[in-house]
Amino acid sequence: MADGAALTAVELHRVEIPLVTPFRTSFGTQSVRTALVLRVRTERGDGWGECVAELEPLYSSEFLDAAELVIADHLLPRLFAAGRGLTADALAGVLASVKGHRMAKAALEMAVLDAELRAEGVSFGARLGAVRTAVDCGVSVGIPESVEALVELVGRYLAQGYRRVKLKIEPGWDLEPVRAVRERFGGIALQVDANAAYTLADAEHLRALDAFELVLIEQPLPEDDLRGHAELAARLRTPLCLDESITSARVAAEAISVGACSIVNVKAGRVGGYLEAVRVHDVCRAAGVAVWCGGMLETGLGRAANVALAALPGFTLPGDTSASERYWVQDLTDPFVLHDGRLAVPTGPGLGVEPDPDRLRAWTTVRRSVPAP
């Protein structure tokens, strides 16, 4: 365990960064990504974090205004009070009395861990247990205005070298677009993500997706319906993957034990941080369940941490770790560039990247500094 270092201050930056193209899912359409970027200042140095909560509580119960409030008013006082006993490993215990708010806690853990690792000269990948120097990349495709537009988008991403394509689906937008992509591009690695848009009553309709030889169907049913997912899994040939349902290593173990999934999407923000994400990976690997790294429209900060996580041995499927140009005209950090369908794992201390000061200043709409008492 690293030596502790007291926090001296934390800066909260609300940033608004334009997306290259609008990204539509069943939750709505985003043309600008609003995110919360954290800079923790400690006795040993600074670290950066990113909160993946969205503006509205549609993907999960968490949302950006609430995350910022709980960080400033409830989490930081506890971290400041920990003094030199604060480490990334100890952070979850220090904050345990505050229920939930995993995305807010994950952002702080990321920043504290980054500060520790920068001070020690250790990379995020080395700390988490990475075994690869580069990771295979997939791309997530939102819901465009037409099937023709979808096919054009997929073709563009395949030409860029992506090794897997994920299509967002919802009732009324599922069989036809999947069929069109499969017929046009043959045996590409193809999967779909429903973001909990269906119910068990749709089982027969979803079974029609078996014909397309998909890698997986992601989160078809509501997040709290593990039993329903187990029943659905027994009726489909296509493997079921859980996303929103998996909130901890304990829940992952339960989902696997009841047969609710055979693949897990790991998102550090959703499970409370990268250290818990490693534990989810370990549980799944021990059970022979494949994992892959999901994305939440992160800037280069979150992308650096995700690429490091995706380099662990159990991440055997390409994740949503797309290149910077997939989302941003200009990333907050130096861009992540795709080479032969892969992204390099950063090797510098900590995250190995940090925000460009000019871009951070230009895109910050609100900056707040919270000093230690």
**Which residues have C-beta within 8 Å of that of residue 115, sequence separation ≥ 6?**
5, 40, 42, 44, 45, 46, 47, 350
The catalytic residue among 99, 105, 166, 267 is 267
Q: How far apart are CA 86 and CA 79, in angstroms?
A: 7
> Strands (DSSP E) along 169-256, which ranges?
190-193, 217-218, 240-242
| Token output for 31 | 């043309």
* Alpha carbon 240 to its chain's center: 18
**267 counts as catalytic:** yes
Distance (Å) of CA 183 to CA 178, 269, 289: 9, 36, 29
**105 counts as catalytic:** no
Residues facing 28 on adjacent strands: 25
| Token output for 93 | 């215990």
Helix (H) or strand (E) holding 134: strand 134-136
Q: How far apart are CA 364 and CA 109, in angstroms?
A: 22
**DSSP assignment of 273-331:** SHHHHHHHHHHHHHTT-EEEE---S--HHHHHHHHHHHTSTTB-S-BS---GGGTBSS-
207 exposed, middle or buried (CB, 10 Å; 0-12, 13-18, 19+)?
Answer: middle
Q: How far apart are CA 298 and CA 320, in angstroms?
A: 10
**Which residues have C-beta within 8 Å of that of residue 21, sequence separation ≥ 6?**
none
Q: Is 158 helix (H, G, I), strand (E, B) or coil?
A: helix
Q: Count, in order, helices (H) and strands (E) of the chain.
A: 14, 13
The catalytic residue among 99, 105, 166, 168 is 168
Q: What amino acid occupies position 75?
A: L
Distance (Å) of CA 85 to CA 37, 110, 127, 175, 177: 24, 17, 20, 54, 53
Active site residues: 168, 267
